[in-house]
Chain A
Amino acid sequence: MTLQVTKVVGGYSQIPVLKEVTFDVQDGELVGLIGLNGAGKSTTINHIIGLLTPFKGEIKINGLTLNEDKNGYKKQIAYIPETPILYQELTLKEHLEMTMMAYSLDRDKAWQKANHLLSIFRLDNKLDWFPANFSKGMKQKVMIVCAFITEAPLFIIDEPFLGLDPLAVHDLLNLIDEQKAKGASVLMSTHVLDTAEKYCDRFVLLHDGTVKTEGTLPELRQALPDAGESLDDIYMSMTRADQHE
């Protein structure tokens, strides 16, 4: 089991945003984290990557908590943020080298991988540029390349599809598939429900800081039999039901 989130209560200040959130991501699995704006998706992710500390509950990656082994824990995560974050002063090539150094990667092997990824995303002729000046989609691609050269067993991807061109979305999904085949796990938050429906193995539906439902698509259909067939229908009926309460 790669990621195990157990009864996590947490948030930014004293007031908890997350209320006993529990879910897991198995090896080789792509789990979609679905929820409205403000449902607690990003807060959940910030707890997992260690920017926030849970008030209660615990988060384990392959049996390790952050407090037990800081670097061992961090080493297992590759993170792609929602809005690309880049160093103003580093070129694309230097971003990659920075990642290689920070994660103690074998440089030759990592560069092989990087070159492959760069050519997929058509960035291979921009190695000496400052990505901080790129367009949003291209910055996003830089984030993807940096994340995928690490050999992390857990990928945390926050809303990856906005700003990417259709070709890049496709390439990203292929990359995720490749990593899954190697046994890595992926937690992905998104609003693009039809893509999520097609590619995710399981879904965690967050609402108001709690996990509403969790499971594969058939399981969700079973849990909400009147809702409809697609993830979109299920999700809409769930949020509507909530508003009526």
Chain B
Amino acid sequence: MNNLYRQRLSSHLKEMFKYLRLVFNDHFVFALLIFIGGLGYAYSNGLKELQPNLWWAKPVIVIVLLLVLQLGRFATLFQDADVVFLLPKEAEVRQYLSGARTYSESLAVVYELFGMFVLLPFIQVTDAMPVFDLALIAVAQLLLKDSLFSLAIARRFKVKSAWLKESVWFKWVVPLIILVASVYGMPMVGTLLALVLAVCLRVADKRYNAVPFDWWQAITLENNRMMGVYRFFNLFTNVPMLKGVAKRRRYLDWLLNIVKITPKNTYLYLYSRGIVRSGEFSGLYSRLTILGMILLYFVRGTWLPVALAALFLYLIGFQLIPFYWQFDDIVFTHLYPVEEKQRVNSFRRLMFSLIGITAILFLVMIFVANQDWMVGLIAFAVELVEVVLMVQYYLPLRLRKKK
């Protein structure tokens, strides 16, 4: 069983690296790097304006630590078929879980330490704590995370105690108390409490050996975790495991009804509904638009905002182009007696509306951030030229090339 986990872990890691590679290849990452850089810059600027002994500093520290504590889940890597194939191996499931715990917990340690690392400058500025106390808080945090993993294991057994299973207590309330104690001047007490909790839960955990393992629960929890992981990757690239489910989104029907029902609009009708109701492209579009808007809000100057807006408009338009072929695996798309030219025109109209909306939103953001008519005017001119170029020339060119 120990080998089984190792095998699964290696294929799991292979899969994760495959996705990570895809993520770090995309245009999106470029944008993300700028975004993270911007955030870091804003953070350091923000810190400069803070004074020591702010009343809200300590609550913020506690809340951030509490949230960071929830990062890093228990990766059991169970699969649906395990309930059938591993059932006879139930006695050895402990071994398997300890492998899982080692992997999950080492990842979690990285998350927790990274969280502390990011928080450190904030603590330093607002609350001149001795280094020793900081170290104690970090230790308490790690011990709390360890307790959460003991609890995660307990949840996967058919433990009767609802008290242990109902995780709100141990996930939020108990850590909150301990963290409050640690941050509000009693780091020694907090760490000690965390240690007691971790040891007690580990001891209690050992006693479940006689309790039957809850396969369904364990598999469901693992599937949920993997769904979360896939959904995260889906933010950046296509995940085949997440075949997007169409959502009705009735509240957007008014928007779709703008498209007149005439033969000329056959594909516009299809494309507009496709983009509004499927997650993939609409998610991509709205994410990039919102990201661009946030970025433009923080950026000042004349040419920098204009260049950024232009870059984001290009990225969005570029990423939308493959949507043209979205319905090609549906045979009727090839059977409709509709000219290819009309299809291209429909797609151009869709693209024009989408990047047009983005361009307007960017313009508003640039104006709000800079409050300067001149910058707004320049941005308007540049965006207008870009949108027209993209829709009139670039898009038809790309569509022809692909054929």
Closest Cβ–Cβ distance, residue A147 to chain B (whole Å): 10
Contacts of B330 in A (CB 8 A): 85-87
CA distance A74 to B334 in the complex (A): 9
CA distance A85 to B245 in the complex (A): 16
Closest Cβ–Cβ distance, residue B254 to chain A (whole Å): 15
A77 B338 Cβ-Cβ under 8 A: no
B263 A49 Cβ-Cβ under 8 A: no
Residue B184 interfacial (CB < 8 Å): no
Interface size, A (range): 20 to 34
Mask, A67-85, CB within 8 Å of B = 1, is 0001111110101010001
Q: A51-B331, A81-B331, A130-B246 are in contact. Are A103 and B336 (CB under 8 A)?
A: yes
Q: A71-B339, A130-B248 are in contact. Are A104 and B263 (CB under 8 A)?
A: yes
Compute the total of residue contacts between A and B using a CB distance below 8 Å.
72
Residue among A70, A98, A100, A132 facing the most chain B CB atoms (10 A cut-off) = A98
Please pick, from A75, A85, A86, A97, the residue contacting B337 in the complex, using a CB distance under 8 A.
A75
Q: A89-B277, A130-B248 are in contact. Are A101 and B335 (CB under 8 A)?
A: no
A88 B246 Cβ-Cβ under 8 A: yes
Residue B210 interfacial (CB < 8 Å): no
Q: How many residues of B contact A (CB 8 A)?
A: 26
Contacts of A89 in B (CB 8 A): 246, 273-274, 276-278
Please pick, from A86, A94, A102, the residue contacting B263 in the complex, using a CB distance under 8 A.
A102
Residue A50 interfacial (CB < 8 Å): yes
Residue A107 interfacial (CB < 8 Å): yes
Contacts of A123 in B (CB 8 A): none
A85 B266 Cβ-Cβ under 8 A: no
Residue B128 interfacial (CB < 8 Å): no
Residue B161 interfacial (CB < 8 Å): no
Residue A90 interfacial (CB < 8 Å): yes
B266 A101 Cβ-Cβ under 8 A: yes
Please pick, from A72, A77, A85, A98, the residue contacting B269 in the complex, using a CB distance under 8 A.
A98
A102 B338 Cβ-Cβ under 8 A: yes
Closest 4 CB pairs of A and B: A102-B336, A74-B337, A75-B337, A71-B337
**Residue positions of B touching A, CB distance < 8 A:** 244-246, 248, 261-263, 265-266, 269-270, 273-274, 276-278, 327, 330-332, 334-339
**Residue positions of A touching B, CB distance < 8 A:** 49-51, 70-75, 77, 79, 81, 85-91, 94, 97-98, 100-104, 107, 130, 132
